[in-house]
Structure formats: structure tokens, C-alpha cells
């Protein structure tokens, strides 16, 4: 068994679309950022259920897998649209791999829900969980799943009666 392969992970906050895969799940978004491909929802919706599932289960962790995943995505997009998907720059040190610092934007979003992500909690999250929180905290994202993600990851919302010194 390839040591680079990790099993597919769906989050509870994605439960309303996992069966149909009508939205791009976080694990696929994670892989797309890893391989530097901007797959639009319009592209995703043109893929068959089998093709979407293929992108869910295909590994994208080791350099060879990342290259293969990028090729698979581009082949599928070209087959359905006639043109390749846009490329994204690949961050050599993405924030979700940094377990030593909670990104300011993510922390601010958590505070807007009366939550505080402590570094001890952040370090316990998987890179995929950190990725999800970072993505869900972006201003361009509708953010409806940020609070459910906080709760799912055990990042409890503070009681509204607690103080900063609690």
C-alpha cells in the first residue's frame, strides 16, 4: 500500500451534499489547492458522478500523486469544456500546514462567532481541518459552514457570559 494515500474524509457540515456531490467537498478543494488547479463549480457540475467520485478518492499527497491528480483534473475539464482549467499558484508553505499559528483572518472569523481558537487546539487539527477553517473564513466565501465546522472540530463557542480572562 502506498504510504502517501490517505482515506477520503467528508465533514459533517458537508452532509447535505455528500451523497450527490453537487458541491465540491473540502477534501477535493484541498487537493485542487495542492496541485494548483482552479476547478470552478460549473466545471464540477459537468462531471459525471463517477468522475466526481474519482476526484474524491484519487490520492494527491506525494509529488507523483499531485502531478497525476493535476493531469486527471485537466483531462476531465478539457473533455467536458474544450479548455483547461485555470492554474493557481502553489503555496510552498500553505497556512494549513502551519500548526504553530492560527491565521489572523480565521481567528477573527472565530471571534465573530464568540469563539477563540487556541494554538493548542489548532495544533491538534489535521491539515484538512485547518484548510477547511481557513477556506470558510475567507470574506469571499458565504461562511454558512464556519460555525458548524468549529463545533465539529471541537472548537467550542464560549458562553456569552464568559470574559476574556476565562
Q: How far apart are CA 27 and CA 25, in angstroms?
A: 6
* Confidence (pLDDT) at 156: 66
pLDDT band at 103 (very low <50, low <70, confident <90, very high): very high
pTM score, whole prediction: 0.86
The answer to the question of residue 166 being in a domain is: no
Report the relative pairing of strands 86-87 and 37-38 from DSSP bridges.
Answer: antiparallel
User: Is 148 in the same domain as 104?
Assistant: yes
Phi, then psi, of 12 in degrees rounded to 5: -60, -35
User: Is 53 in the same domain as 80?
Assistant: yes
Other CB atoms closer than 10 Å to residue 85's CB: what's the count? 19
Q: Say yes or no to pLDDT of 34 above 50.
A: yes
Span 36-48, mean pLDDT? 96
pLDDT band at 8 (very low <50, low <70, confident <90, very high): low
Domain boundary among 69, 87, 105: 87
pLDDT band at 40 (very low <50, low <70, confident <90, very high): very high
State the total domains in the chain. 2
Other CB atoms closer than 10 Å to residue 112's CB: what's the count? 12
The answer to the question of residue 43 being in a domain is: yes
pLDDT band at 139 (very low <50, low <70, confident <90, very high): confident
The answer to the question of residue 158 being in a domain is: no
Domain range for residue 107?
95-152
Other CB atoms closer than 10 Å to residue 31's CB: what's the count? 26
Amino acid at each position: 500500500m502506498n504510504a502517501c494515500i490517505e482515506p477520503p474524509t467528508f465533514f459533517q457540515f458537508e452532509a447535505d451534499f455528500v451523497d450527490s456531490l453537487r458541491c465540491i467537498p473540502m477534501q477535493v478543494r484541498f487537493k485542487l489547492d495542492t496541485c494548483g488547479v482552479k476547478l470552478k463549480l460549473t466545471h464540477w457540475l459537468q462531471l459525471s458522478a463517477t468522475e466526481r467520485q474519482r476526484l474524491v478518492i484519487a490520492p494527491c499527497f506525494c509529488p507523483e500523486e499531485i502531478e497525476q491528480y493535476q493531469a486527471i483534473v485537466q483531462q476531465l475539464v478539457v473533455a467536458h469544456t474544450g479548455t483547461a482549467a485555470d492554474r493557481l499558484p502553489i503555496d510552498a508553505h500553505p497556512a494549513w500546514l502551519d500548526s504553530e499559528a492560527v491565521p489572523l483572518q480565521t481567528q477573527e472569523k472565530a471571534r465573530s462567532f464568540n469563539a477563540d481558537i487556541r494554538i493548542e487546539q489548532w495544533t491538534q487539527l489535521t491539515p484538512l481541518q485547518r484548510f477547511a477553517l481557513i477556506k470558510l473564513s475567507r470574506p469571499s466565501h458565504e461562511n454558512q459552514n464556519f460555525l458548524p465546522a468549529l463545533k465539529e472540530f471541537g472548537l467550542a463557542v464560549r458562553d456569552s457570559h464568559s470574559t476574556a480572562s476565562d
